[in-house]
Amino acid sequence: MLTPFDENREIDWDSLERLVEWYIAAGVHGPFVACQSSKMFYLSDAETVRAHEPTTRRQMMRSATT
């Protein structure tokens, strides 16, 4: 999964939320967060943990309805 950044090279959290929704709508069952394409080597530990939150939350919501 890609990690969107803003013009200040900070994670664009709103875009990350939309991207998770886009992946889910496209049929992805479990986006892989913080992989090499997402600049994982440049993220702090706190950013990496926070980047997992929208995916985890969305997957939990999805599991609760199935």
pLDDT in tens, 17-35: 899 889 888 988 777 887 7
DSSP 30: S
Q: Is residue 38 predicted with pLDDT exceeding 70?
A: no
31 close to 20: Cβ distance less than 8 angstroms? yes
11 close to 4: Cβ distance less than 8 angstroms? yes
pLDDT of residue 35: 74
Q: At what angle do helices 13-25 and 45-64 cross, to 10 degrees?
A: 40
pLDDT of residue 37: 65
Report the distance separating Cα 20 and Cα 5, nearest Å. 14
Domain limits, the chain: 13-64
pLDDT of residue 15: 94
